[in-house]
Chain A
Amino acid sequence: MLEYVWLIPLFPLLGAVFNGLLGKKIKNEAVIGGIATLMIFCSFLVSCGILMQLIGLPAEERVFEKVVFPWIHSGNFKADMAFLVDPLSAIMIMVVTGVGSLIHLYSIGYMHGEEGFYRYFSYLNLFAMSMLLLVLGGNMLVMFIGWEGVGLCSYLLIGYYFHKKSAGDAAKKAFVMNRVGDFGFLIGLFTLYWWLGSNHNVWTINFTEIKAASSLLPYGGVVTIATLCFFVGATGKSAQIPLYTWLPDAMEGPTPVSALIHAATMVTAGVYMIGRMSFVFVKAPDTMMVIAIVGAATAIFAATIGTAQNDIKRVLAYSTVSQLGFMFLAMGVGAFTAGVFHLMTHAFFKACLFLGSGSVIHAMHHALHHAHSHDDPQDMRNMGGLRKAMPITFITFLVSTIAIAGIPGFSGFFSKDEILWQAFANPFHGGLNIFLWGTGAIAACFTAFYMFRLVFMTFFGECRITAKSKDHLHESPLVITIPLMVLGFLAVFGGYVGMPKLLGMLPNYFEHWLEPVFATAQGYAQTYVHAGAHHSHALEWGLMGLSVVIAVIGIAIAYILYIASPSIPARFTATFPALHRAVYNKWYIDELYDFLFINPCKALGSFLWKGFDVLVIDGIVDGVAKVVMGLSGMLKNLQSGYVHNYALSMALGVVVIIAFYIFR
């Protein structure tokens, strides 16, 4: 099966080409959606086969490279179209194809009747292909094809409703911000490639070869520069401070897209990339610290914004930014396994939450449409009490919310608690650890709060739409609810593969599985010995208990504010209008970026053109030309405008010149 790894990205590529070329003619939604879903499902089956085969191998042999064909070979630069299968990429392909299949299936129902149905599925398949290239790439350049490819597909899908200006703007913003990050990725790539090559004659961008040569890399220095550049790339793709503002806007795309691209897969690419190159990152303690701080800061910053949004998808978008911050916090404290674990559980519960919100929006849209109401179907202030009309959506949404809030027994708890514990106990950052843990814990409290605020506003209380609309509210069809149920199941039980050792009920399969991938990095980490690297079990138990208490506090506040005494939030905003406005307006970061970067760039472009090109350069050239023309009658005639004059003088000129030099 391993030999056939190239089939995994090929299937969705075929689907994309098929629907892209023929979809418009076919028109039959079942065929278009069916083929797209079938293709990604075939990839899922191949991925399952590969996973099974890997499990069958001894742990140290679970690395397989497949060169499909040579790509760019020039001098000592060599990049093949090569795939790398190891425990890490195996998890990623399972998540991408598994969650991807469910979301493809869901989309058949959700996109029903859309004008660009074929276009949507072609893009979605193309996205799957790019994402699979990204996670399977055996060298940085193949990863980069995927890296940019997912950016393109994200652009196309955010701009799916292209006639809406806001959608086009959001798509543009996402693409450009991603590109700013890619700038970092490429510089990092070059720095590493050039340093290893010129100092040790190891000219490679291949992951396994870099891993083998990683002992040659120094601690800090050039590695810090390279990893910081890579991290810039990660902040763009994974929406971290300062490049996060595109993700909330990306909610302009269809909701399944938000679930697949902007929650479960693409935005986790930065986390995956750090995991893939853990053996490089771990050698740059300063970078690790930057990653941890940016991760923690993003986690809490986005969580605060999430508390004041009224659009259901925007809350989830900020939640995603915040959860990605947790993953980066994990990477920054060297807890690579915990980061990847949270990536996986987050893919389950956040995909379920987005798809659930899609189901809600779908129902709301339907109901409002029938009642000829122009209320916003995504605004939670129009919802309420939906649990009765939509029981399956409600249950799955609720368990996923519990999972993200970090209540024991649900998947999110295991991964988030592991991250917080590692933030506290890691050997890298010394005195900073307590702040990292504290920030993470407060962010977790905010998470529990805004997520339950969302659940209470949407599913509990009184329905706030008109009675006429209310009659049209109903549960979504099976094609939508089946993916919800599968993801809801995973949101609950997906965490049991990675139970903390402390609880001791099940072995931590997840950690064992990834051990060979991160062994090299863990080896280098041995050199960092800060005080506090060894902690007692009692402390670990204590912190675990504390994080549960924190989550419960967040839920309790949400309950008080939105169920028990719903007048408080209004009074709060009335008392602190400035604070509420700032949070509601996302701390005015977009406006700041416009002022600092976008407007000056636009102005400079116009200035260079009209001011420099036309005025200065052409002014000089035209000036010279005028002087020459003034002196020369022949040139004056040239300006007569009669074409045959030009032809004649040109021909004569050429003949004279040639004749002169030949026969002089």
Chain B
Amino acid sequence: MVNGYPLLTILVFLPLAGALFLIPVWKRPEWLRRLALGAGVVELALAGWLTVRWQAFQQAPGAPAGFLLWEDLPWIEGFGIRYTVGMDGISLLMVILTAFITVIALAVSWRGIRERVALHYLLILVMESGIMGVFLSLDLILFYLFWEVMLVPMFLLIGIWGHGRRIYSAVKFFLYTMFGSLLMLLAIIGVYLVHGSETGSYTFALPALVNTRIAPDLAGWLFAAFLLAFAIKVPLFPLHTWLPDAHTDAPTAGSVLLAGLLLKTGAYGIIRFGYPLFPQAAASFAPLLTVLAVVGIIYGSWVAYAQTDMKRLVAYSSVGHMGFVALGIAAWTPVSLSGSVLQMVNHGVTTGALFALVGMLDERAETREIAAFGGLWGKIPLFSAFFLLFSMASAGLPGLNNFAGEFIILAGSFRVSPLAVVLAFIGIILPLVYTVRLVQQLLFVTERQPLALADISLREGGVLAVLALAAIYLGVHPAPVLDLLKVPVGLLTGTP
């Protein structure tokens, strides 16, 4: 609470309230769009204000170390379930990313969504509330609740406004994640019971549970359940196959939100819950995590190279990029973990932008086949310039955002697993290979089909320019972000 205002609660429920405001104008698309975007912008402004004010906040009374904002209310006392939300530097970054990417997602659906407009915007705002909740909850049941709330809108977004085999993809997405989250629920109850029987106090509060002593065997199983749920979301090889389908068939906003935010919840879950709850089990799983991360980096990039559908290519590239995040988490050093969190933000910006660009092309040409395009430099230069910029960011060009994140991850992991890092370097070469191939086929050469393409509109240009500024800023001056992470990462890794 700050001056008696429950800021975090406002942050979580403001989008939901915005969604309710859409109901009166259900049949008025122009109003809907503006209202929804307005709600998103207010949320972003609040998150931005928190970021600016962050250094001025003090450690919240009663909160675990590092949490400067903290709201804790009893909820269902019989089961020890509380409404606990808290914010440290990591949550803050995720919150600002969520608010930012949601605004982008709202803005890119302006023209593409023509049917059931109201439901579309309502779902995005509901999802934003869910994701905010995931990034802020510190009670395991509350976390689980938000985790489920977040899934439903995405499932519907793909199922209703998707393309191609959208039902297949939506169901696949749903089954994968549901499978993981049910296992997680069992594990949550497991930790609850162990803690309760040991200390006599039955609680789902994360700060209390982190000190639970759990028998190593049981801890291994429980951690595995958590890891599985989160690894599906990240996604970690070989649990990634839902991702290309979901991305390819999702509408543009769905892809942006999926890549920009939903994948981050998986990595965030490992950082916030998986490792702190089961440190020993996590350490013994680290080699496996490292191997899967490195395989994912190389595999994802290699498969991306073979794609003919742009969206699927970007989706597979995500598998590779998120492998870097997983590598940094597996190494669990202050440097590598900072890199992972930074990379989560970077990936959200870059991949979000690439999906937005592909979506724009799809809106115009109604195809995402790479082979259908060519010579875009000559036809739509502004689009091409943005495309080149974000492709280069994605390929890890120094001075742009992805490089900073990936470099810090590798620098931090090198001490722990030098061989893994050397292999991961292949993941620095390969993205360039598929990126320049994509750039050449889209932007260079001459057009292969006569397509009437208009260059980007003012609205689209605005969206892309904001993303471009973010990509350049994070690449040239990531210092403020890294400063935010110093305290929480130090506390998590036990090296303050």
Which A residues are closer than 8 A to B by beta carbons?
A: 20, 24, 69-77, 81, 141, 144-145, 147-149, 152, 155, 159, 162-163, 165, 167-169, 171-172, 175-176, 179-180, 182-183, 186-187, 190, 193-194, 198, 601-602, 604-606, 608-610, 613, 617-618, 621, 625, 638-639, 641, 643, 646-647, 650-651, 654, 657-658, 661-662
Contact = CB atoms under 8 A, between A and B. Distances in A.
Contacts of B446: 163
A180 B436 CA distance: 14
Nearest to B382: A24
A75 B492 CA distance: 14
B404 to A, nearest CB: 6
A621 B177 CA distance: 13
Nearest to A604: B302
B354 interface: no
B76 interface: yes
8 contacts: A72-B479, A74-B408, A75-B338, A162-B444, A169-B440, A602-B306, A650-B156, A657-B185
Interface string B290-327: 00000000010011111100000000100000000000
B477 interface: yes
Closest 5 CB pairs of A and B: A605-B306, A75-B335, A168-B444, A162-B444, A605-B305
B445 A152 contact: no
B108 interface: no
B387 to A, nearest CB: 13
Contacts of B479: 69-73
B421 A72 contact: no
Contacts of B51: none
A619 to B, nearest CB: 10
Contacts of B432: 175-176, 179
Contacts of A179: 428-429, 432-433
Contacts of B156: 643, 646-647, 650
Interface string B219-249: 0000000000000000000100100100000
Nearest to A116: B377
Nearest to A641: B167
Contacts of B307: 609
Interface string B256-290: 00000000000000000000000000000000000
Contact of B426 (A152, A183, A610): A183
Contacts of A147: 398
Interface in B364-407: 375, 377-378, 381, 385, 392, 397-399, 404, 407
A483 B321 CA distance: 46
Given A194-B414, A602-B306, A608 B440 contact: no
A69 B306 CA distance: 41
Nearest to A142: B398
B303 A605 contact: yes
A662 B404 contact: no
B397 A148 contact: yes
A180 B81 CA distance: 54
B114 interface: no
A72 B148 contact: no
A153 to B, nearest CB: 11
Contacts of B359: none
Given A605-B305, A609-B307, A183 B429 contact: yes
Interface string B398-437: 1100001001101110110010011001101100110011
A321 B238 CA distance: 44
B482 A72 contact: yes
A60 B426 CA distance: 42
A610 B156 CA distance: 28
B448 to A, nearest CB: 12
B79 interface: yes
Interface string B109-142: 0000000000000000000000000000000010
B168 to A, nearest CB: 9
B181 to A, nearest CB: 10
A573 B428 CA distance: 45
A657 B160 CA distance: 24
Interface string B141-163: 10001001100100110011000
A626 to B, nearest CB: 12
B50 to A, nearest CB: 23
B397 A152 contact: yes
A73 B412 CA distance: 12
A72 B407 contact: yes
Contacts of A159: 440, 444
A71 B428 contact: no
Given A74-B339, A662-B76, A180 B429 contact: yes
A77 B333 CA distance: 12
A654 B148 contact: yes
Contacts of B244: 613
Interface in B87-102: none
Contacts of B418: 190, 194
Nearest to A172: B436
Given A71-B476, A171-B440, A643-B156, A77 B79 contact: no
A168 B440 CA distance: 6
A651 B152 contact: yes
Q: Which of A148, A167, A617 has the most CB of B within 10 A?
A: A148
Contact of B302 (A20, A69, A187, A605): A605
Contacts of B241: 613, 617-618, 621
Nearest to A144: B398
B443 interface: yes
Given A168-B440, A606-B306, A77 B411 contact: yes
Nearest to B378: A163
Nearest to B179: A624
B147 to A, nearest CB: 11
B433 A187 contact: no
Contacts of B171: 625, 638-639
A74 B334 contact: yes
Nearest to A205: B411
Contact of A661 (B141, B375, B378): B141
A180 B414 CA distance: 19
A141 B415 contact: no
Contacts of B428: 179, 182-183, 186
A162 B159 contact: no
Given A152-B397, A605-B303, A608-B299, A646 B159 contact: yes
Given A144-B398, A187-B422, 6 more contacts: A74-B335, A74-B482, A186-B425, A186-B428, A190-B414, A193-B411
Contacts of B491: none
A141 B171 CA distance: 45
Contact of A145 (B398, B440, B485): B398
Contact of B152 (A20, A167, A625, A650): A650
B10 interface: no
A190 B404 CA distance: 15
A179 B427 CA distance: 11
Given A72-B404, A621-B241, A647-B156, A172 B440 contact: yes
Contacts of B482: 72-74
Contacts of B160: 643
Interface in B445-481: 445-446, 476-479
B170 interface: yes
Nearest to B409: A74
Given A74-B338, A190-B410, A190-B414, A165 B425 contact: no
A610 B307 CA distance: 10
B208 interface: no
Contacts of B375: 162-163
Residue of B174, B381, B411 most packed against chain A (CB within 10 A): B411
A613 B436 contact: no
A75 B333 contact: yes
Nearest to B171: A638
A646 B145 CA distance: 19
A646 B335 CA distance: 44
B398 A646 contact: no
A162 B377 contact: yes
A464 to B, nearest CB: 33
